[in-house]
Structure 1
C-alpha cells in the first residue's frame, strides 16, 4: 500500500511539517498559568462599572480591556488549535472545553461598557476624541459606538443577552447534532460494485462520480433521510430565524436584514442589488447548464449531474514543495514583498500541512494579535490543494498585514472583507493555470473549475441569500412557515436559477435543511460580494498596473479601521454599485466562450 494512504498518528508527522504552536506556549503548564491568570484578572473589568463618567477611567478601561482580551485570545486560540491537530487527545479536548465554558461569562463582564458610555453626553465623547491625544487611537471605535446608540440596551439587558447567547444558539447546535451525529444513511453500490455506507463526508465524492447511477443513488438516498426529518428540521430553522428576529426587534431595527448590515454601515441596497443583478443575468447560468448538458451528452440534465466535471483528467500527484512553487508563480503579480511574506510564513511554521489521525478536517486560517497567523491544511497531493493553500494564506497574509499595521482594536476585519483576500489569491492562481496550460483537455478541466467556483460562490450563495431574505421577512411579518413552505420556496428558486434545461428533482426540495450557514444569519451573501470584489482586484492586478498592487496591499493593511464598504472603495472597488458583480458574470461568460471554442 502507498505510504501516503496510511493515515499517520500525530507524533509520526515530521516536526517541520507541523505548525509551531510552541511559539504561543512552550508547554501546557504555561497555558494553564495564563488561563488561571486570565480568569482571575478579567474580574477586574467589573471594577470599572459605574465609573465611566471620568475620562481617566475610560482610558484605563480601554487599555486594560485590550490587555486582558489579548491574553484571553491567546489561551482561546491555542486551546482550539491544539484540539484541532488531534481531536482524539482528551487533554486537548479538556483545555478547549474549559476555555469555551468561560468565554460566555467573560463576555458578560464588560457588557456594561457600551450602555454606560452611551449614558454620557455626545459632546463629552467628541471632546475626548478631538482634544485629548490619548484618545485619538479610539476615534473610530468610539464614533462607531455612538452611531449604534438607539440599538444599545440597558446594562442589565446587555449582560442578560450576553449570558443567554449560548441558549439562543441552541437551534444551530441541534441542527449540527442531528445532521452530523444522529443522522445515518443507507448503503450505496459504488463504481466498483462494492456496498459502501453513505455519509456526509463521502457524499461529495459520490456526487462527482463519472458513473451516473452512483451519483443518482447517492443523491436520492442522502435527501431521503433529510426528508424523513423535514418537520423537525423546519422547526429548528424557524426557531433559529425567530431568535435572530427577536434580537433585531428588541434592538429597535426596522427589519431583520438591517440588524445584520447596519452595524457595519452596509446599505440594504447592497444586499438587494446583488440579488437583483444575479436575477437579471440568470441566463448566463442557464447557458452553463445547457453547455454542460451537451458536453456530458445527456438527454436530461438532473440536479445530481450538476457537480460532475465536464471533462476528466488523470490526477497528478503534486508534492507540497511543488505546490508552493506553483503558488509562487500564480501569485507573482502581487510583487516581491507579498511573495516574501508568503514563503517566510511557510518556512517559519505558520502551516500545519498534512493529515493525521484525529486531525480536524478541512482548512482554515486563524491566530491572534500576538501569534503567527496559523493555517490548518489537510494536504492531499492534488491540484485543488494548491488552491486551498493560496486561499488560506490569503487570509493569513491579510491578518499579518492588518496586525502589523493596525492597533489591537482595529486589527480584525469584518466578514464582508474576510473572503476578499483569500479569493483574490484563488483568482490569480486559476488565471495563471488556465493561461499557461497548452493541453486542450487539461485547459477545459481548469476552465470548468473556475466556472464551478463562480457558480457555487456567486450564483449559489445568492440563491441562498434570496431564500434567507424570504424566511426572515415571512416570520418577521408573523407568518407561519412549515416544511412544505420551505420546500416550495426552495423548489421555485432552483427552477428560476437553473432554467428549462434542468430537471428539478423533487429530492432537491429538502436541500435547504442541509445547509448549516442558514444558522449564521445573512452570512452567505458575503461569499458572493467577496468573490466579486476579489475578481475586481485580480483583474486590475493582472493588467500589470503597479498602482493596483499598492491599492490592494493598502486594503490588506486597513484591517477593520473603517467600515468595509469604505475600505474597499478607498482601494478602488465600489460595492455600492453592481459593477464588481457584473464583471464577475462577464468573466463567467468569457469562460463559457472559451469552453465552447475548445
Structure 2
C-alpha cells in the first residue's frame, strides 16, 4: 500500500509560487497603520451631510470619498488575500473580520449621500454641473443614482441598512468557513490504489478519472460529506436568499431578480430569454449525453461519468511554466500589448499558484485600483488548470486595462461584463489547441474539452440560474424551503436537463450545497451570457482581425463607464437578443457533429 499523499502546508510552498501580497503591505503592522489612518479619515465624510447641493462641497465630498474608498479597498484586498491563503490561520482571519466589520461602519458614514442627492428637486444637479465644470466626470455616476430614486430609502433607513450589512452577509461567511476550513473529506483510493486525501481542490482530477471506481468513490465521498451538513447549509443558503429578498422588498422592487438586474439597466428579459434559449435547445444537451454514453461504452451512465473525457489520451501533466507558454501562444491574436501585460503578471507574481492546506478552494481574480490584479489558483497540472490560468488572467488583464484607462469611480466593470474577457481567453486557448493538434485522437479529446466548456459554462450555469430563479421566487412569496425541498428542486432540474440517458444519482441532489456563487445572488447566469458574448468576440477577432480587436480592447478599457448592455453593443455584441447564445449552441452542435462522426 502506497504512502498517503498529503496536501502541503502554506510554509512548504516556494515563495516564488505565491502571490506578492507583500507589495500591498509588508506585514500586518503596516496594514494596521493604514487601518488607523482610515478610521481617522472616514468620520470627516459626515461633515458634508446637508451640503451636497453646494457645488464645491459636492466636489470635495466626492474627492474625499474616493480617497477613503481607495484606502479601504486596499486594506480589504490585503486582508482577504491573506485570509484566503490559509483559512485556518486565526490571525489573518481576525484581520479580515476587522476590516469587514469596519466596512459596515464606513457605509453608514456615507449613507446620507444617495438619499441627499435624491432629495433635491429635479434639475438640481444640472445647475450644480453648470456652476462647477470639474463635476462633469461624475455625470454618469450621479445620473445612475438619480435613476434609483424609487428604490432609495430615507436617510435613517439607509444608515440602518448600512450598519447591518455585515450581519446580512453572515450566511455567506458561515458557509465559506464551513466548506473551506471546517469540513473534512474521506480518503479514497486513486488509480494506483494509493490512499489519497480527498479535497475540493483535487476532486476535479478524480471525477475525470478513467477508472469508474475512482470517480464514483470521489463523487460519493464529496457529496456524502456535504449531506452530513445539509440542514446547516440549507439554513445558510435560505437565510442568504431571505436577506436578499428583504432588501429587495424594502427598496420597493417587484422581485429579488429585478433588484439585481435593474440597477445596471439590464432588462429582465435578458435573464428569462437566456433560460428560454437553453430550454428551447435542450435536445442538444440530451444528444451530447447519448453520444458520450456510446463513446464511453457504458451500459448505463451516471452523473459521475459526465466529466470523464470520451477519448483515451495519455495522462497530461503540464508544468506551470509550460502552461504559461501555451496560453501566450494561444492569445497571440490579441496583440503584443496584451501579451506583454500577461507576462508582467507572471513576472510580478500576481498569481498564487498551488494548493496548500487551508487555502480557499477554486480560483479567482481580485485586486483594487491601487494594487495588482491578483489571481488565486489551485494548480493541479491538468489541461483544465491551464484553461483556468487563461480564464483568471483574462479577468486580471480586463481589470488592468479598466484601471489604467478609467478614473477610480468607473474602473470596476459590472458583473454582467465580468465573465467576458476571461472566457475570450479560454476560447482562444481551446481553439488554438484544436487547430494545432496533429494527432487525431488528441484532437478529438480537445473537441470534447470545448464541448465540456460549453456544457458546464452555458448549459450548467443556466440550470443553476433556473435553480436561483425558483428558490428566490419561493422566498419572495414567503414559502419556506427545507434541505429536502432544495434537493427536490435540484433533482427535478437535473432530470429535465439530462433526460433518460443518464441516471440522476441521489448524491447529485446535494450539489446546490457546494456552490458558493448562490450566495452572490443572480451571478451565475452571467457565466452563460459572458461565454456567449466571448464566443462572439473571438469569432469576430479571428475573422476580422485588427478592426475587431480594437473594438474588443475598447470593451476592456471601458470599465463601468456606461451600462453593460451599451458597452457590449458598442463593441459589436448585442445581448438584448438571443443570437449570442444561439450562436454558441451552434458551435456546440458543430463540435458534437465532429465527435459523433467517430461512432
TM-score normalized with structure 2 length: 0.92
> Is 1:396 the equivalent of 2:396?
yes
Find the counterpart in structure 1 of residue 322 from structure 2.
Answer: 322
What is the CA-CA distance between 1:159 and the residue it aligns to?
1.1
Find the counterpart in structure 1 of residue 43 from structure 2.
Answer: 43
Q: Secondary structure at the match of 1:375?
A: strand
Alpha carbons 1:333, 1:544 under 8 Å: kept: no
- Unmatched runs of 5 consecutive residues or more in structure 1: none
Find the counterpart in structure 2 of residue 479 from structure 1.
Answer: 479
Find the counterpart in structure 2 of residue 261 from structure 1.
Answer: 261
What is the CA-CA distance between 1:91 and the residue it aligns to?
5.0
Alpha carbons 2:100, 2:166 under 8 Å: kept: no
- Alpha-carbon distance between aligned partners in 1 of 2:184 and 2:380, rounded to the nearest angstrom: 27
Rate the CA distance shift 1:29–1:460 in 2: closer, same or farther, 3 A. same
Task: Using the TM superposition, name which of 221-230 and 424-433 deviates more.
Answer: 221-230
Q: Secondary structure at the match of 1:312?
A: coil
> Is 1:509 the equivalent of 2:475?
no
- Alpha-carbon distance between aligned partners in 1 of 2:187 and 2:87, rounded to the nearest angstrom: 27
Q: Deviations over 1:497-525 (max 9, x none)?
A: 11221122233333323323222211111
Find the counterpart in structure 1 of residue 591 from structure 2.
Answer: 591
Task: Using the TM superposition, name which of 557-566 and 316-325 deviates more.
Answer: 316-325
> Is 1:248 the equivalent of 2:248?
yes
Task: Using the TM superposition, name which of 198-207 and 417-426 deviates more.
Answer: 198-207
- Alpha-carbon distance between aligned partners in 2 of 1:532 and 1:584, rounded to the nearest angstrom: 6
Alpha carbons 2:181, 2:358 under 8 Å: kept: no
Find the counterpart in structure 2 of residue 469 from structure 1.
Answer: 469
Find the counterpart in structure 1 of residue 557 from structure 2.
Answer: 557
Find the counterpart in structure 1 of residue 124 from structure 2.
Answer: 124
Q: Deviations over 1:570-596 (max 9, x none)?
A: 100000000100111111111111212
Alpha carbons 1:207, 1:304 under 8 Å: kept: yes
Q: Deviations over 1:251-281 (max 9, x none)?
A: 0011221011000000000000000000000
- Alpha-carbon distance between aligned partners in 2 of 1:309 and 1:400, rounded to the nearest angstrom: 35
- Alpha-carbon distance between aligned partners in 2 of 1:182 and 1:495, rounded to the nearest angstrom: 32
What is the CA-CA distance between 1:74 and the residue it aligns to?
1.7
- Alpha-carbon distance between aligned partners in 1 of 2:586 and 2:130, rounded to the nearest angstrom: 47
Instruction: Give matches, 1:8-19, under 5 Å.
Output: 10=11, 13-15=14-16, 17-19=17-19
Rate the CA distance shift 1:374–1:234 in 2: closer, same or farther, 3 A. closer
Rate the CA distance shift 1:98–1:472 in 2: closer, same or farther, 3 A. closer
Alpha carbons 1:171, 1:236 under 8 Å: kept: yes
- Alpha-carbon distance between aligned partners in 2 of 1:357 and 1:203, rounded to the nearest angstrom: 15
What is the CA-CA distance between 1:361 and the residue it aligns to?
4.4
Alpha carbons 2:53, 2:124 under 8 Å: kept: no
> Is 1:238 the equivalent of 2:231?
no
Alpha carbons 2:552, 2:571 under 8 Å: kept: yes
Find the counterpart in structure 2 of residue 162 from structure 1.
Answer: 162
- Alpha-carbon distance between aligned partners in 1 of 2:388 and 2:460, rounded to the nearest angstrom: 20
Task: Using the TM superposition, name which of 294-303 and 47-56 deviates more.
Answer: 47-56
Find the counterpart in structure 2 of residue 530 from structure 1.
Answer: 530
Instruction: Give matches, 1:95-494, under 5 Å.
Output: 95-130=95-130, 132-180=132-180, 183=183, 188-193=188-193, 198-227=198-227, 229-354=229-354, 359-494=359-494
What is the CA-CA distance between 1:241 and the residue it aligns to?
1.8
- Alpha-carbon distance between aligned partners in 2 of 1:456 and 1:80, rounded to the nearest angstrom: 28
Alpha carbons 1:10, 1:86 under 8 Å: kept: no
How many residues are paired up? 596
Q: Secondary structure at the match of 2:375?
A: strand
Q: Secondary structure at the match of 1:543?
A: helix
Alpha carbons 2:290, 2:501 under 8 Å: kept: yes
Q: Secondary structure at the match of 2:377?
A: strand
Q: Secondary structure at the match of 2:123?
A: helix
Task: Using the TM superposition, name which of 268-277 and 333-342 deviates more.
Answer: 333-342
Task: Using the TM superposition, name which of 55-64 and 176-185 deviates more.
Answer: 176-185
What is the CA-CA distance between 1:231 and the residue it aligns to?
4.4
- Alpha-carbon distance between aligned partners in 1 of 2:538 and 2:114, rounded to the nearest angstrom: 39
Q: Deviations over 1:377-428 (max 9, x none)?
A: 3444443333222212211111111111111100001111111111101100
Alpha carbons 1:20, 1:350 under 8 Å: kept: yes
Q: Secondary structure at the match of 1:500?
A: helix
Q: Deviations over 1:514-548 (max 9, x none)?
A: 32322221111111111111111111111143211
Rate the CA distance shift 1:453–1:510 in 2: closer, same or farther, 3 A. same
- Alpha-carbon distance between aligned partners in 2 of 1:482 and 1:387, rounded to the nearest angstrom: 37
- Alpha-carbon distance between aligned partners in 2 of 1:328 and 1:241, rounded to the nearest angstrom: 41
- Alpha-carbon distance between aligned partners in 1 of 2:401 and 2:442, rounded to the nearest angstrom: 36
Alpha carbons 1:122, 1:146 under 8 Å: kept: no
- Alpha-carbon distance between aligned partners in 1 of 2:548 and 2:397, rounded to the nearest angstrom: 17
Rate the CA distance shift 1:180–1:33 in 2: closer, same or farther, 3 A. closer
- Unmatched runs of 5 consecutive residues or more in structure 2: none
What is the CA-CA distance between 1:51 and the residue it aligns to?
2.2
- Alpha-carbon distance between aligned partners in 1 of 2:81 and 2:234, rounded to the nearest angstrom: 33
Rate the CA distance shift 1:364–1:158 in 2: closer, same or farther, 3 A. same
Alpha carbons 2:6, 2:197 under 8 Å: kept: no
TM-score normalized with structure 1 length: 0.93
- Alpha-carbon distance between aligned partners in 1 of 2:329 and 2:199, rounded to the nearest angstrom: 37
Alpha carbons 2:7, 2:356 under 8 Å: kept: no
- Alpha-carbon distance between aligned partners in 2 of 1:584 and 1:270, rounded to the nearest angstrom: 16
Find the counterpart in structure 2 of residue 52 from structure 1.
Answer: 52
What is the CA-CA distance between 1:26 and the residue it aligns to?
4.7
- Alpha-carbon distance between aligned partners in 1 of 2:89 and 2:508, rounded to the nearest angstrom: 38
Alpha carbons 2:421, 2:534 under 8 Å: kept: yes
Alpha carbons 1:140, 1:562 under 8 Å: kept: yes
- Alpha-carbon distance between aligned partners in 2 of 1:135 and 1:253, rounded to the nearest angstrom: 30
What is the CA-CA distance between 1:11 and the residue it aligns to?
7.7
Alpha carbons 2:201, 2:362 under 8 Å: kept: no
Alpha carbons 2:88, 2:181 under 8 Å: kept: no
Rate the CA distance shift 1:456–1:12 in 2: closer, same or farther, 3 A. closer
Alpha carbons 2:275, 2:466 under 8 Å: kept: yes
CA RMSD after TM alignment: 2.7
- Alpha-carbon distance between aligned partners in 2 of 1:5 and 1:445, rounded to the nearest angstrom: 30
